[in-house]
Amino acid sequence: MKDFAPMKDLPPEAMEQVAAYFQALAEPTRLRILNLLRGGEHNVGFLAQQCGYTAANVSKHLSLLTKQGLVARESRGNCVYYRIDDPAVYALCDLVCGSIASRFDREAQHRALFSAHAPTGS
C-alpha cells in the first residue's frame, strides 16, 4: 500500500495536479466512460456505442483521462484498448456517490415529512 500525502501537506504545484485530476472527473461523459471501464478494458468503438457519442468525442475524453493517469491505452493491431490505470478513482467516485445518495435520501425524507404535515385544501 502506498503512503499518501494528506492534502494539507501538498505544495501548490501538487494542488494544481489535484485540481486537474478532479477536473477530469467533472464531466458526466468521462464518468460514464470510467464506469464502463470498471467492467474491463474496451476499445473506443465499444465505449462510443455504449455512451451514445461519436468515436472522436470519446477519444477526446479518453485522451484527457489518459493524461491525468486515470486510464491506460494499449494498441493492438488497428485497435486501441483502454483500461483503468488508477483503481483508486472508483473508491473516490463511490465515496462521492454514496455521499450524494445519502443527501438525496435526507432531502426526500424532509419533503415527505413536510408534505405529510402540509394543510390540505378545502
Region 36-48 average pLDDT: 96
3-class DSSP state of 51: helix
Q: Which fold has domain 10-86?
A: Arc Repressor Mutant, subunit A (1.10.10)
Domain boundaries, the chain: 10-86, 87-122
Give, in order, the Cα–Cα distances in Å from 63 to each of 33, 34, 121: 12, 13, 57
* Nearest partner of 65 among 49, 79, 78, 47, judged by Cα: 47
Give, in order, the Cα–Cα distances in Å from 38 to each of 70, 82, 90, 98: 12, 11, 8, 17
pLDDT number for residue 1 = 44
pLDDT number for residue 58 = 97
pLDDT number for residue 23 = 94
User: With a threshold of 0.85, does the pTM exceed it?
Assistant: no
Is residue 73 predicted with pLDDT exceeding 90?
yes
pLDDT digits (tens, 9 = 90+) for 76-90: 999 999 999 999 999
Across the chain, mean pLDDT equals 89
Is residue 44 predicted with pLDDT exceeding 90?
yes
Region 96-120 average pLDDT: 82
